[in-house]
Amino acid sequence: MPTLSDIVAARERIADRIHHTPLLSATRIGASVGAVLMHKCESLQKTGSFKVRGALNRVAQLDEAARASGVVTVSAGNHAQALAWAARDAGVRCTVVMPTTASRTKVDASRGYGAEVVLHGTSGIEAFARAHELAVERSLTFVHPFDDEAVMAGQGTVGLEVLEQADAVDDVVVPIGGGGLIAGIAVAIKEKRPSVRVYGVEPTGAAVMRKSLDAGRPVRLERMQTIADGLAAPMAGDLTYPIVRQYVDDVVLVSDDEIVAAMRELLFSAKLLAEGGGAAATAAVMSGKLPVEGRRVVAVVSGGNVDRGRVREVLGDD
């Protein structure tokens, strides 16, 4: 488990490479549920999501030999772009394995940041296996998208910033995919200010952490179906799960319709473009599923990488 001092060290390591993203008031959305709502805007982070924090922290700690050989990961989305960016920034070669079904936009974005993209298999599971093979064949260091202490510590820097930026905060609401972001944030916040509640949010169609908590152990999902593709992790992490169990006050679920409504509200009220996963925390606040009335709430808008077609869907026809 990453400690608070790991997270503080991560911050020193990455602070001058990332954006100190703004914490913005969302008065109108908050008022709709009787809360004072603020958004921590990681959609405005370099590469368009928080993922670059963990990637940078991981790459910064590679030893000489590992730096010379390069890194490899599997991701069809934000982690791929983030690791590609962080590796290039550090002068390290990066290989990303994506399923052949990955969107052209995301393949191009990773290539744009200088990564070699290997298309393999039709599922995340197959791509995962290929990435592990490549790690062995080419002596690459595998950088897990979430189940990695350095990655979690990097993501936890969001929590440190929230505590500094908010004059007062009662609740912090965080989207969950594999649990790396919320694990890091929960350690940072509960170790520094235990009275602050930390809530997790998952899409109904990819609720691996909720199911793991209910089962009492990390489970895998056979099928996932959600507009929040960034949150569609097929398993809870062996490392992230116990942290969530220990530190997170509750994990609630939101439907795709609730996510779309939040994306729309973020766009037209807060003027921010969020991807589905990026809007999940706001969706949970708006849905009334969290006891936030009368409280000061920070929702993490975790990413903004979404293509035109999806935005068109969100706008609807009326």
* Rounded distance between C-alpha atoms, residue 175 and residue 302, angstroms: 7
Locate 78 and state its tokens. 């934000």
Among residues 67, 82, 72, the alpha carbon closest in space to that of 133 is found at 72
Positive or negative CA dihedral for 285, 179, 11, 79?
A: negative
* Rounded distance between C-alpha atoms, residue 218 and residue 208, angstroms: 8
Name the residue nearer to a second copy (CB basis): 223 or 308. 308
Among residues 42, 59, 6, 45, the alpha carbon closest in space to that of 239 is found at 6
Q: Closest distance between a second copy and the C-beta of residue 98, in Å?
A: 20
Q: Which stretch binds a second copy (CB under 8 A): 162-170, 205-213, 281-289, 310-318?
A: 310-318
Name the residue nearer to a second copy (CB basis): 43 or 73. 43
SS3 assignment, position 232: coil
Binding flag, residue 184, a second copy (CB under 8 A): no
Name the residue nearer to a second copy (CB basis): 224 or 311. 311
Q: Which helix (H) or strand (E) holds 286?
A: helix 280-287
Q: Closest distance between a second copy and the C-beta of residue 225, in Å?
A: 25
Residues carrying an active site annotation? 51, 302
Binding flag, residue 89, a second copy (CB under 8 A): no
Instruction: Enumerate residues 122-141 that contact a second copy by CB under 8 A.
Output: none
Q: Closest distance between a second copy and the C-beta of residue 142, in Å?
A: 28
- Exposure on the CB side of residue 264, measured as CA atoms within 13 A: 14
Name the residue nearer to a second copy (CB basis): 62 or 279. 279
Q: How many residues bind a second copy (CB under 8 A)?
A: 24
Which of 138, 217, 220, 312 contacts a second copy by CB under 8 A? Answer: 312
Q: Which neighbouring-strand residues pair with 174?
A: 200
Binding flag, residue 100, a second copy (CB under 8 A): no
Binding flag, residue 15, a second copy (CB under 8 A): no
Binding flag, residue 271, a second copy (CB under 8 A): yes
Binding flag, residue 24, a second copy (CB under 8 A): yes
Q: Closest distance between a second copy and the C-beta of residue 165, in Å?
A: 11
8 A C-beta contact, residue 159 and residue 172: yes
Phi, psi values for residue 253, rounded to 5°: -110, 145
- Sheet containing 141-142, strands listed edge to edge, beginning at the edge strand earlier in sequence: 116-119, 94-98, 71-74, 141-142
* Rounded distance between C-alpha atoms, residue 196 and residue 168, angstroms: 10
Q: Closest distance between a second copy and the C-beta of residue 198, in Å?
A: 25
Binding string, 34-53, against a second copy, x = CB under 8 A? ---------xx-x-x-----
What letter represents residue 311's amino acid?
V
Binding flag, residue 316, a second copy (CB under 8 A): yes
Residues forming contacts to a second copy in the complex (CB under 8 A) are 19, 22, 24-25, 27, 43-44, 46, 48, 267-268, 270-274, 304, 307-308, 311-312, 315-316, 318
